[in-house]
Amino acid sequence: MAAPSLKKIAYHTLQQGKTIAGLAHKELSTKLMEVFAPGAAPENFPINQDLIKEVRRSMENLENIDWREAEAGVYPKSQLFEAPWLEWAKKYPLVWLDMPQTWQRRRKNKTREIPKIVNEEDYPEYYLQNFHHQTDGYLSDHSAEIYDLQVEILFNGTADSMRRRVLSPLKRGLKKYLSEGSKKIKVLDVATGTGRTLQQIQSALPQIELYGLDLSGSYLKQASKYLSSRSGDLVQLTKGNAEKMPYASASFQALTCVFLFHELPRDARQNVLNECFRLLEPGGILVLADSIQIEDSPKFTPIMENFHKIFHEPYYRDYIVDNINLRLEKSGFSSITSESHFMTKVWKANKPV
Ligand SMILES: C[S@@+](CC[C@H](N)C(=O)[O-])C[C@H]1O[C@@H](n2cnc3c(N)ncnc32)[C@H](O)[C@@H]1O
């Protein structure tokens, strides 16, 4: 067997470092929470040694596939090291400063503390909440600034690897358009947040025209800042509700959507899928990524249950048992496939010709 390259060793070391940093941060913050906000920690499902081993194995598999796909040229290897490190270092103290408010919100079970200046009529009712007990929900610049780092810590440095799992099915789905080479290919990332998936798509497919939509103006501002600091064409960002998107029918060849569905009630999930179907041209594809579900990852049930208990995720419990395949079919999609990678499940579905 050939010796691993220096780059592979560097990537492995980086991932290990992120895992250790994520675990250390959580350990310390939980200890502080117990002192300063006793009662904020909910009763958790116990995680036994076998499950910890299983989690480690699953993380290793994720790292391996992430490396293999970079080696195979699905995306440049530089993607594996992509992060605004300096920005994150500057923002890390903000994550700590924000924590006492989060603990209090958790302790008092306050889940609808949204900034007063927000015009509530502009948003669906389910959106006006402090998902993950996040200060201001998704509705302030402060929330948008620290979001990426919070997610990175939450998933012990695997968030971007999980997002990257949309790239291979996306590229496969776009193959026929890429080989035709005649018209401009348009791809929309639905609920793009701070634009990390857009950046990944741009680096894997620099020739396509990219669009991003989200309900949060603050998150889009952050996305714009992040994307414009990277090389690549201008990405068109639009504020809007994924249930009723402001684009013409059949105007995209592909759509992606990452980590949205677990934050939607059932009817909104179906509405978003119906909209995705409408926006795709016949032959186009949808690649959807979100949390794993009970059905295909039963051994991770305690982790899923804890996620919903620790963080304010009001629709997660329903999401993990929802039949997304059936919803996709109901919207009109066909050739539906799915696969799981660590904590993420990825669906690919076609709009029939
Ligand atoms: C968990 S974040 C995921 C963001 C991003 N895709 C990522 O990978 O980090 C959920 C995102 O969905 C957005 N969102 C929630 N409901 C939405 C809706 N109905 N329409 C558009 N965006 C929505 C939020 O503003 C937030 O940016």
In the chain, domain spans: 159-297+312-350
pLDDT in tens, 175-232: 999 888 767 899 999 999 999 999 999 999 999 999 999 999 999 999 999 999 988 8
pLDDT in tens, 142-165: 999 999 999 999 899 999 999 999
| Environment class of 344 (CB within 10 Å of its CB; exposed 0-12, middle 13-18, buried 19+) | buried
Q: Is the pLDDT of residue 308 over 90?
A: no
Give the pLDDT band of residue 248 (cuts 50, 70, 90). Answer: very high
Find the 113 Cα to ligand 1 centroid distance in Å.
18
Q: Which CATH architecture has domain 159-297+312-350?
A: 3-Layer(aba) Sandwich (3.40)
Question: What is the pLDDT, as a whole number, of residue 36?
Answer: 79
Question: What is the pLDDT, as a whole number, of residue 352?
Answer: 98
Question: What is the pLDDT, as a whole number, of residue 302?
Answer: 86
Question: What is the pLDDT, as a whole number, of residue 1?
Answer: 62
Find the 116 Cα to ligand 1 centroid distance in Å.
21
**Residue 215: CB within 6 Å of ligand 1?**
yes
CB < 8 Å & 24+ apart, contacts of 25-29: 25/153, 26/153, 29/96, 29/99
**Residue 275: CB within 6 Å of ligand 1?**
no
The pTM (predicted TM-score) of the whole model is: 0.95
Cα–Cα distance list, 173 to 163, 197, 217, 252, 314 (Å):
17, 17, 30, 13, 33
CA–centroid distance for 271 within its chain? 19
**Residue 259: CB within 6 Å of ligand 1?**
yes
**Residue 263: CB within 6 Å of ligand 1?**
yes
Atom of ligand 1 nearest to the CA of 138: 25
Cα–Cα distance list, 204 to 7, 11, 118, 145, 290 (Å):
19, 18, 36, 25, 20
Atom of ligand 1 nearest to the CA of 151: 9
Q: Is the pLDDT of residue 48 over 90?
A: no
Nearest CA to ligand 1 atom 3: 259
Q: What is the mean pLDDT of the chain?
A: 93
